[in-house]
Amino acid sequence: MGALTPESVEELLGDPADPGNPYGFAAAVARDEADAHPDELCDRLVAAGFHLNYLPKEWGGAFESFDRSLTLVRAAARRDVNVMPGTMFGIIAATCLQLHGDEDQRSLTADILTRGGTVAFALTEAEHGSDLLSGEVRLDDDGLLHGEKWMVGNGLSCEAVYVMARTGARGPGAFSAYLLDADWAERHGLVREPAARTGGMRGVDTARLRFAGLPVPGHALVGKVGEGLEVAVLAQQAVRLMSMAGSLGCADTALRLALGFAAERQVAGAPLLDVAHPRRDLAVASAALLAADAVALAAARGVHVVPEVFSVWALAAKHVVAEATDDLVRRCAAVLATRAVLREQAPGAGMFQKIQRDVAVVRVIDASPLANLRAYAAQIPTLVTREEAPAPDTVHRIFALDAELPSYDPTRLDLVARGADPVLGALPGVAAGALEQLGDDPAAALVRRLGGAVTGLGPRAAAVRQRDADPNALVDLAERYAWVHAAAACLHLWWHNRDRSLYGAEPGATGWLRATLAYLLARAEGVDPRRHGPDLLPALDTTSALVRSGRLMTAVPVRLASASHPMEDS
């Protein structure tokens, strides 16, 4: 079996717009109506080895790099984001076992996951949500496990479960991790029940796991007593990278459906696509998708080069991608109008309505937006005042898409960012070079605004330390940092790839850069991006061209399978 590529995934699954395709939109909507899991779709992908692309090669997997896996998952998730739990949800347990599992535990996990089975990750509890330090599931002095875990992905079907349990009184060191054989645990008192149904991602396997004095064997302890929570937090950095693929898959389909509708719909004798207000909304949505793609691609490459800063970078990227996708779907819904709420006789046979529900779940799948911001906010005042510039080669390896990446090493992940943010630290030099090259290009003014926004993070960080500071100031700073960091990533992506085509444009083209900077800086300033409409319009030209040419809406060229082209040059 040859290595999977995004194009081979496309060919494997066919044109999703074909109503007879069992892996297409119509089938996804039918499953959604029936609360059914995408078994046939997942089986097809597992048979092709798709699930191996997050597992290390020493485990029998096919993982090469996060940017490659991100694009592979997007190709599948654009058809139905529910494919991710069915094929990729083992990533967090697998990462935890890579970090502190023993040889037998890793071997067991590798055997289950490589043959397409699942290992669940039981962390959260209904009464505490993202407040992990308040977890009550506990292992008592007699080695018996008590309590209940909530919304456990693949909890009903898993063959093993990685469980976080309280073994101490307080603080992060009060939790330890245990790897349990699920069938054995059921015979000894584990109760598995379906969790509450969700509005989106219907049919996905989520469970409540109840432990009523379950005896835990000594060999089930993973790593050392008291290190479970720390390792789980580290592993979630990788999960956030892959969850972005789900957002991007939904965003690609939502925008593709809206663009196709707008190109065909006639208003007063002209295509809706040419009417000023919907055209502006579609430009905002297009800029949001291009920005989200650039941010996700940069993060997926950056974790190979500077994993030490991903306690901030992963969460900031997750925030931008999830929020930009949410914005995109709202803008597309405004253009589709009534057809955004129809369950039939609408673009995608009801797929857009499914996406609206699904993105709401993806947005909170590993943490709510507020919990996500709070998780790294305390690091920002120190991080933005560090002035050390990274080595030029470091930033080039992250952003130059033809640069070879070092192997991913999860042991280099950390709970706090070590050193300066390389994306912001390298910005002054790149911005100076970009301004010289851009001349009077409209993007130049946005590069200057970006420089000012980065400089302004320092005074804002000082302000949040004042005794009378607004209690929301720190979280607001973390959000502003995320958008500014994302804008800087877009400039780096353009600068380090000026000699190659990005988003199907000519090498060095600045239209997509202008649009993404305008969108991200508006979000950083808390204003509606539509106020910068003229700067955003090049994004619509870019996404429209990608749709017409049958390509995925990403910086790297990915040809879609037997693509329907609902848009014609208008």
Q: What is the chain's mean pLDDT, rounded?
A: 94
Q: Using the 8-state DSSP alphabet, how is residue 559 labeled? A: B
- Tell me what pLDDT residue 366 has: 77
Residue 72 banded pLDDT, cuts 50, 70, 90: very high
What number is the average pLDDT over the span 424-428? 96
Please indicate, yes or no, whether residues 18 and 128 belong to a single structural domain of this protein: no
Please indicate, yes or no, whether residues 191 and 259 belong to a single structural domain of this protein: no
- Of the candidates 112, 110, 119, the one whose C-alpha atom is nearest the C-alpha of residue 85 is 119
Please indicate, yes or no, whether residues 205 and 242 belong to a single structural domain of this protein: no
Q: Using the 8-state DSSP alphabet, how is residue 202 labeled? A: T
Residue-wise pLDDT tens digits, 294-322: 999 999 999 999 999 999 999 999 999 99
Residue 396 banded pLDDT, cuts 50, 70, 90: very high
Q: Which of 222, 251, 277 is the last residue of a domain?
A: 222
Please indicate, yes or no, whether residues 484 and 417 belong to a single structural domain of this protein: yes
- Taking the C-alpha atoms of residue 266 and residue 261, their distance in angstroms, rounded to an integer, is 10
Q: Which of 161, 195, 222 is the last residue of a domain?
A: 222
- Tell me what pLDDT residue 2 has: 61
Is residue 201 helix, strand or coil?
A: coil
Residue-wise pLDDT tens digits, 445-462: 999 999 999 999 999 999
Is the pLDDT at 95 greater than 80, yes or no? yes
Please indicate, yes or no, whether residues 373 and 318 belong to a single structural domain of this protein: yes
Is the pLDDT at 570 greater than 90, yes or no? no
Please indicate, yes or no, whether residues 500 and 374 belong to a single structural domain of this protein: yes
Give how many domains the chain has, as a whole number: 3
- Tell me what pLDDT residue 77 has: 96
Beta bridge partners of 210: 148, 191
Helix (H) or strand (E) holding 519: helix 511-525
- Tell me what pLDDT residue 86 has: 84
Residue type, 236: Q
Give the CATH number of the domain where residue 390 resides.
Answer: 1.20.140.10
Please indicate, yes or no, whether residues 74 and 147 belong to a single structural domain of this protein: no
- Of the candidates 253, 257, 250, the one whose C-alpha atom is nearest the C-alpha of residue 347 is 257
Per-residue tokens: 529: 């991006």
Residue 555 lies in a domain: no
**CA distances to 69, 73, 119, 438 from 405, in Å:** 14, 19, 29, 29
Residue 558 lies in a domain: no
Please indicate, yes or no, whether residues 152 and 281 belong to a single structural domain of this protein: no
Scored b (16 or more CB within 10 A) or e, 118-151 reads bbbbbbbbeeeebebeebebbbeeeeebbbbbbb
Contacts for 346 with CB less than 8 Å, ≥ 6 apart: 336, 339, 340, 352, 353
- Taking the C-alpha atoms of residue 377 and residue 382, their distance in angstroms, rounded to an integer, is 10
Residue-wise pLDDT tens digits, 339-376: 999 888 888 989 999 999 999 999 888 788 999 999 99
What number is the average pLDDT over the span 375-392? 90
Is the pLDDT at 541 greater than 50, yes or no? yes
**CA distances to 3, 58, 70 from 61, in Å:** 11, 7, 15
Please indicate, yes or no, whether residues 521 and 392 belong to a single structural domain of this protein: yes
- Tell me what pLDDT residue 564 has: 46
- Please identify which residue in the block is written with the tokens 């044109």: 15
Q: Using the 8-state DSSP alphabet, how is residue 268 labeled? A: T
Beta bridge partners of 483: none
Predicted TM-score of the model (pTM): 0.95
Is the pLDDT at 75 greater than 90, yes or no? yes
Is the pLDDT at 470 greater than 70, yes or no? yes
- Please identify which residue in the block is written with the tokens 């690091």: 379
What number is the average pLDDT over the span 31-43? 95
Please indicate, yes or no, whether residues 145 and 241 belong to a single structural domain of this protein: no
User: Can you list the pairs that 543-546 forms with residues at least 24 positions away whose Cβ atoms lie under 8 Å?
Assistant: 543/255, 543/259, 543/286, 543/289, 543/290, 544/259, 544/263, 544/273, 544/286, 545/504, 545/505, 546/503, 546/504
CB 381 within 8 A of CB 464: yes
Residue 566 lies in a domain: no
Residue 557 lies in a domain: no
Residue 553 lies in a domain: no
Give the CATH number of the domain where residue 144 resides.
Answer: 2.40.110.10
- Tell me what pLDDT residue 88 has: 84
Residue type, 509: A
Is the pLDDT at 220 greater than 50, yes or no? yes
**More confident of the two residues 476 and 564:** 476
Please indicate, yes or no, whether residues 129 and 72 belong to a single structural domain of this protein: no
Residue 313 lies in a domain: yes
CB 552 within 8 A of CB 558: yes
Residue 51 lies in a domain: yes
- Domain range holding 462? 232-548
Is the pLDDT at 384 greater than 60, yes or no? yes
Beta bridge partners of 271: 266
Is the pLDDT at 567 greater than 80, yes or no? no
Please indicate, yes or no, whether residues 386 and 497 belong to a single structural domain of this protein: yes
- Taking the C-alpha atoms of residue 104 and residue 522, their distance in angstroms, rounded to an integer, is 51
Q: Would strands 160-166 and 119-122 be described as parallel, antiparallel, or unpaired?
A: parallel
Contacts for 15 with CB less than 8 Å, ≥ 6 apart: 21, 24, 560, 561, 562, 563, 564
Residue 567 lies in a domain: no
Residue-wise pLDDT tens digits, 158-195: 999 999 999 999 999 999 999 999 999 999 999 999 99
- Tell me what pLDDT residue 364 has: 87
